[in-house]
Structure formats: C-alpha cells, structure tokens
Chain A
C-alpha cells in the first residue's frame, strides 16, 4: 500500500507524457499540438519534483532548520529552470502559429506542409 502511494506521482507522470505525445501525434490543429507539448512539459516537471521527495524530510531551507534530513534541493532548481524555458518555448511556438495562420490561412497541420512543393 505504502509503495503504491509513492508510485502514484510516477504513474501520473507516465499518464501525462503519454497524453501529451498522443496529442502531438494525432491532433491536427497546431494549437492543440502545442498544448500537447505543454502537457509533456508538465509531466516532466512533475517527474523532477517527485524525484526530490523523501518521506519525513523537511524543506531544504537552512535558516533555523531542525536537525533532520532535507529533501533534495537540486530537482527543485531544475524544475524552476525548466518551467521558465517551457514558457519561452511555448510562447515562441504560438507566435510561429500566428504567423503561419497569416500566411497560410489555416492552423491545420495537414495543410501546412508546403516546404516540399
């Protein structure tokens, strides 16, 4: 029971990543595909945060901390960086879609394949 409880976040990570991949691969609308990327992003971030968690450990704040072990601080730093990068990439991709809509008049990924012509 206990081990299942600790496995739950990782199950959730797998669900999120698979959902995201499904959205990217099978949805035709570019905006929905970008949503899929954002879902994968959240899955990976959740994975990093769940990695850091240890039962009974305290938050890694040194000031007046009680003398017990702390959870891993590095994954939190990694997650913050990854969230910031995620915002930048999502914004850039959405702006590409805006320009693509202006040029092609559609956000359907099946109709935006004109490079090969």
Chain B
C-alpha cells in the first residue's frame, strides 16, 4: 500500500508541527538562522497540508481518516474503535482559519521576539499549540479531544508566560492554566460519563445511540460550559482580557485562535453528537443567550478601557458573541421548517464570521503589538500621532478596525450582514441588539484610532516596525481585503461546505 498523501493529510497537519516542534531546539545547536528556517519550513508545510486537505474537500468530498486502518478510506465497524480524524468542510474552514493566523503570528514573531533568550523553546511551544488546536478541530474521538485540549493548554500557557521577567505575564498564565486544567478535568469527567453509558468514544458512534437521558444531559452541560469557557464566552470570560493583554504581542492572536478553536469543537460536538437527542430549540436558545451576553458585556467592558490591548481583548469577547448568536439561531431551527428559510443562512453568517474574525482580530492584535513595540506603552491616554511615523501600521490597523466594526465593504460587514438578515427573521430584537453592539464597536475603534494614530506627532514612536512584522500584518490585511472583495466566492467555496457538513437536516 502506497502512502496516500492526500488521504493522510489530516494526520500530516498534526505530524508536521509535532516533528518540527522538536527539530527547532536541535537546529538551534547549529545556528540561529537554521532554527528560524526550520521553524518557518514547519509552519509552511503545515499550511501546505491544510491547503491540500481543504482543496480535496472543496473539489471532491470530505472523508474520515482512520489511524491504523488496513484499508484507507473505508469505514468498517472497527473504525469507530480507532482514532478517527474528520476532513470535511467544517474542518477545512477551521484549519484554514488557524493556518492563516499561525502564518501571520509566526512571521511576526521573528522580529518581535528578537533578543529574547530561549527562542528555540518559543518555537517549540508555538508549533505544539498549532498541533494542539488542529488536533482538537480534526479529531472525532472524545478522549483524543481531551488530549489535544491539554496539549493546547500547556503549550499556550507556556507561550503566555514566555516573557517571564514580567510578573504580570506569569500571573495571567497561571490564571489561564487554572481555568484550562480544571476545565480539562471536567471535560474528562463528562467523557467518562459518556463512555460509561455507551462504551465507545467516537462522535458518530455515540450519536447513533445517544438517548438524551440525565447522564447525557449532565455530560452535555459540562462539555458546553468547558468549551464556552475556553472560547471566552461571557459568564466565563474573566481570564481572557488578562491573558490577551499580558501575553507577548506576537502570540496574542494565536492565544485568541485557541479560543476560536474551542468554539469550533463545541459546534462540532453539538451538531454531530447531541442534535438528535436534545431539544435543539432549547439548546439553541441557550447559545443565543450566551451570545447576547458576550456581545453586550464584552463591548460595554471595552468602553472603559484605556489599555489598547485590553480594549481589543474585550472586543474579541464581544465578537465571540456574534458567532454564538448566529450559530444558536441556526441550531434552534434545525428540527423545524425554518432551517431552509433562515437557519442555514444564520449558520453561513456565523461560520463566515468565525473565519473573518480569526483574521481581522489577529491583524488588530498584531498592530496593537506594533504600537507597543514601537512606543513601549499600551496606554491610550499617553499615545498619539503615531500615523506620522508608522504609516503602514496605521493603514493595517484601520483595515482591521473597520472590518471588526462591520463597515462596508470590508469582510466583517459581509458576515455581519448575513447574521443580521437571518436573526432578524428569528426575532427582530436580536438584530437590533447586534446592530447596537456593532455601532459601539465602531465608536471604540474610532476612539483607539483617534487617540493612538491621529493628532500631532508626540515623538513617542521609534519609527516604523521591522519589515518582517509589516509583512506578517500585510499578509493578514491581504486576506481581509480578498474576503472583502469576493465575499460571494468565499461563502460559496469555503463556508457553504462547512454548513453542509454540519447542518444536514435529517
């Protein structure tokens, strides 16, 4: 049997970063340039395999990769006892989001982290986090999910505390660690509950026999709370601002993408495992409430911040709310006739917003990090006039900011428009709240832009940031611009397969 690279691409998406994570410390023994090159090759190869998998999913159809199967591509009754990776439209959407952000953050960290000691360990942690998030997204096995959840937690906590001569980053990392570890243990508890009842760990096998009894409901609630907590949805959001603010600027988007990854996993579990056994209207309503809370509390907390990274962190919490809201509306319509009228549209809007949000949030965090890099302060009251010396960063921030505020024609507008259209049909008041939050977001972006970039040159900035950092932000900006110019194409080619993968009506 020859090795089928396309069929095995989900395994390579994990294998490549795992291998290169431990090659970088070895390469560091030889030279720093080789270490950087090895890290970059690992990152690019991962992106390449994500592209291979997504291309196959979009042009042909999705498949399940079963580890240790005799025949590739064939699902037998033994497949459900092995570890299974799912390569479908949803996995493609999620891994593309992660890959774009990882590429931006990776290129950015060369110049940003220059001069720090122990960089080979930084790259190891970076690639391990990448493998962990992709593993969480691709796996169709509950215990495997727990393992990747913990890999992500440990590696990303290491990244948060990487600049450990600052006490605050260690404090944020410890807080994140408590949240992740206790969350992970309760995830394991609920996995134990499901295994004790059904004797199997595969999503699809559990979905066939799940009956919605008390044990299932307890397990579902625990999974929902844990993953929503990792996704920084509002009642469980308290860790997010500290962690996003205190982590090194280059990896902040990457920490944010682990949150988004948890949200992807939550949606997959809800849609694949539990949709036949619970009342989708009730569960969808719960997601809608979580979404409204996240949107509103996130944006109101952002109003009073004077720290630029903390402000963007709260905006990011508020953006998570849009996805929960849209997917909640889509989920609640699954079992009735509304799915065809607006449920599928809501899912399209929610999923399109996830990929948009991953990219423009990364752009915003990176341009905020560029401000810190160049001026040494995050305080908006002290900043001013940066546009004179940092024209490119100003442009990148403006594009990211207008996109997060949903200003046409940028990508955030396209996905928010889909969300408004569909949730208005569910209940008009939801669309009104979403619009109000969007307007406040615009006001906040205006405040940051005015305070940090406009006005007379205060001489705070050391000048424009290094070229590689500009390149990283440029790549993300290019993606935002492409998404803005061709929203129809992106929705049809990338988002609709994801909706079809999850939202199949029985």
Residues of A within 8 A of B174 (CB): 30, 93, 96-97, 100, 112
Residues of B within 8 A of A29 (CB): none
CB distance from A14 to the nearest CB of B (A): 11
Q: Are B154 and A88 in contact (CB under 8 A)?
A: yes
Q: Are B181 and A74 in contact (CB under 8 A)?
A: no
Q: In B138-193, which residues have CB < 8 Å from any A CB?
A: 143, 146-147, 150, 153-154, 157-158, 161, 164, 166-168, 170-175, 177-178, 181-182, 184-185, 188-189, 191-192
Cβ-based interface call for B56 (8 A): no
Q: Are B147 and A114 in contact (CB under 8 A)?
A: no
CB distance from B259 to the nearest CB of A (A): 17
Q: In A34-65, which residues have CB < 8 Å from any B CB?
A: 37, 40-41, 44, 47-48, 51
Q: Out of A37, A48, A75, A114, which one reaches B171, CB within 8 Å? A: A114
Q: How far is the CA of A6 from the CA of B245 in the complex (A)?
A: 49
CB distance from B170 to the nearest CB of A (A): 5
Q: Are B177 and A99 in contact (CB under 8 A)?
A: no
Q: How far is the CA of A113 from the CA of B170 in the complex (A)?
A: 11
- Nearest-neighbor residue (CB-CB) of A81 within chain B: B147
Cβ-based interface call for B80 (8 A): no
Q: Are B172 and A93 in contact (CB under 8 A)?
A: no
CB distance from B314 to the nearest CB of A (A): 12
Of A44, A75, A97, the most chain B CB neighbours within 10 A belong to A44
Q: 3 nearest interchain CB pairs?
A: A103-B167, A115-B242, A96-B174
Binding site for B on A (CB under 8 A): 17, 24, 30, 33, 37, 40-41, 44, 47-48, 51, 72, 74-75, 78, 81-82, 85, 88-89, 92-93, 96-97, 99-100, 103-104, 112-116
7 more contacts with CB within 8 A, not counting A51-B192, A74-B201, are A75-B195, A85-B184, A89-B181, A93-B174, A100-B174, A103-B166, A115-B175
19 interchain pairs, CB-CB under 8 A: A37-B181, A40-B182, A41-B185, A44-B185, A74-B195, A74-B201, A78-B188, A78-B192, A85-B147, A88-B150, A92-B154, A96-B157, A96-B177, A99-B164, A99-B167, A100-B170, A104-B167, A112-B174, A113-B171
